[in-house]
Amino acid sequence: MTRAALVLFSAGQDSATCLAWALSRFERVETIGFDYGQRHHVELSQREPLRRALSGLSERWLAALGDDSVIDLRGYGALAESALTADRAIALEAGGLPTTFVPGRNLVFLSVAAALAYRKGIDALVGGMCETDYSGYPDCRRATLDAMERALALGLERPIRVETPLMALTKAETWRLAHALGGAALVDTIVEHSHTCYEGDREHRHPWGYGCGVCPACDLRRKGWAVWAEAGES
């Protein structure tokens, strides 16, 4: 088996950093994304420009980057949405999860990614799950992913790793990792081409990238950038 990885790639800051991380470690890297009926299609349309710009930063990265697969999971998205609506009162009452929580999302994504990896002889999945900033999402915790890794290995009867390089990092540390992997050129590429904003805003350009500037995703990205920039590493 070749040393190959499949990156769960949403074209956001985290998965862009994961793609650079994988390109710097694996001989062959492919990407997978999911159309689950997101409100805005910006993240789907940013995939190719971001992949092209990022891999273009290094000849080795360009040679390592393989196919991109976008999988239609709109049926799941519709189901998850209705479940969210139905459970909203209960969830809020329990005081647990943010309303943006899509039940089981990472479990579904990893199962589908593992199926593609199996077919392509890839034995590592790479995802930007992180329990530092998103502690409210139970399917982002390493404990969940350890169990998932074991379930996939048993169910496929083939070892498959779930690599999560951002698991213990803050958003500021994710910028620092990007800088360590590809210098200012990689940071600039992620700022310019990655998309995180929940509102799909690509009109307003900030030092940290495009976005409405006020949604929770923009807020997190802006704050992380500010902490990192203050540390004087940019």
Site string for Zn ion, 107-146 (x = CB under 5 A): ----------------------------------------
Comparing CB distances to Zn ion, the nearer of 185 and 214 is 214
Q: CA-CA distance, 75 to 82, in Å (whole number)?
A: 11
Comparing CB distances to Zn ion, the nearer of 101 and 210 is 210
Considering the rule CB under 5 A, would residue 165 count as an interface residue with Zn ion?
A: no
Query: Which of 116, 215, 226, 227 is the binder for Zn ion (CB under 5 A)?
Result: 215
Comparing CB distances to Zn ion, the nearer of 79 and 212 is 212
Comparing CB distances to Zn ion, the nearer of 183 and 207 is 207
Query: Which of 211, 221, 224, 228 is the binder for Zn ion (CB under 5 A)?
Result: 211
Query: Which of 167, 212, 227, 229 is the binder for Zn ion (CB under 5 A)?
Result: 212
Q: Which of residues 21-80 bind Zn ion (CB under 5 A)?
A: none
Comparing CB distances to Zn ion, the nearer of 53 and 197 is 197
Considering the rule CB under 5 A, would residue 197 count as an interface residue with Zn ion?
A: yes
| Contacts to Zn ion by CB under 5 A | 197, 199, 211-212, 215, 218
